Structure 1
Amino acid sequence: MSAATPTGRLAELGLTLPPVAAPLASYVPAVRSGQFVFTSGQLPTVGGELLRTGKVGADVTPEDAKDLARVAALNALAAVDSVVGLDNVARIVKVVGFVSSAPGFGGQPGVVNGASELLGEVFGESGRHARSAVGVSDLPIDSPVEVELQVEVRS
């Protein structure tokens, strides 16, 4: 695998795609529609276990939440890979990041940067994307963050 491919860049970063996270309800991790793949929201799980729980700005620091968003984005890439293969991604189109926020916490963009920065490292210029960073009162299983992707594929 060449370092010029997303898979190669992941290897250079010392990262491997995890197994696709099992859905928590009645949905699939990712769906292809035409030239696009849409992921379901992905949580920061490793080996099926949520890394942290709680609200950002109270139970979880913004810096830790940024790291968790990176893990959630890696899980989203695994979902994309399961549908089309990561090296078939032409570009990351949009990222939506949800941050379970303590009252008064307004640093959602900095938290979701964890996902955006990973995508930039893996895809270079093709990893630049539109984005929403949304503060919410709660997320599934008390996760601090959730990330979903919309990607364009080559063929």
Structure 2
Amino acid sequence: MGHIDARLRELGIDIPEVASPVANYVPARTTGSLLYTAGQLPFVDGALVATGKVGQDVSTSEAVELARICTLNALAAAQSVLGSLDRITQVVKVNGFVASSPDFIQQPTVLNGASELLGEIFGDIGIHARAAVGVAVLPLDAPVELELIVEFSTP
């Protein structure tokens, strides 16, 4: 068992099966020593956990949890390509998108759910750059979407 697997077990976190793409793309792709995930929605067992706008239909605290689910789905996509999350040497960047009501301005708070989870799992290598962007609508009316860029080592 690798270090990250042990840490996940300690935290009581299971990495889900990689979500099937909802269009014509792959869940993750590598170039050089970087892995890019496709945008990940808050799917659990193949279904969106919530829909609608944050600040209107979805509370900030609910959206924080949705960002954590998106992060786990992004890690599943990374694991599907890398074979093991122990190959990740640095979480480089998180790009987060929040479908927001017009007056909602707490996008960074929502994305803290992702950033804090990555820190819990990876420690110092989980510290990353980030964008937290408010948007009018996301695919399938999802409240949150997230993508990761990670650096990895060769096996």
Aligned-pair distance for 1:7?
Answer: 1.7
Q: Distance in 2 between matches of 1:10 and 1:50?
A: 23
Q: How big is each residue's C-alpha offset from its partner over 1:73-113, in whole Å with a ceiling of 9 and x where there is no partner?
A: 00000000011121100010000000000011000000001
Aligned-pair distance for 1:11?
Answer: 1.1
Q: Distance in 2 between matches of 1:70 and 1:98?
A: 13
Three-state SS of the structure 2 residue aligned to 1:114 is helix
Task: Tell me the residue number matched to 1:40.
Answer: 38
Structure 1 segments, 4+ long, off by >4 Å, are none
Task: Tell me the residue number matched to 1:152.
Answer: 151
Task: Tell me the residue number matched to 2:117.
Answer: 118
Task: Tell me the residue number matched to 2:28.
Answer: 30
Q: Distance in 2 between matches of 1:24 and 1:149?
A: 18
Which structure 1 segments of 5+ residues have no match? none
Identical columns (%): 56
Task: Tell me the residue number matched to 1:93.
Answer: 92
Task: Tell me the residue number matched to 2:11.
Answer: 13
Which structure 2 segments of 5+ residues have no match? none
With the length of structure 1 as denominator, give the TM-score of the two structures.
Answer: 0.97
Q: Distance in 2 between matches of 1:7 and 1:112?
A: 24
Q: Distance in 2 between matches of 1:10 and 1:82?
A: 16
Task: Tell me the residue number matched to 2:64.
Answer: 66
Task: Tell me the residue number matched to 1:133.
Answer: 132
Aligned-pair distance for 1:14?
Answer: 0.7
Aligned-pair distance for 1:9?
Answer: 1.1
Output the aligned Cα RMSD.
0.7
Query: For residue 63 of structure 1, what is the amino acid of its counterpart?
Result: S
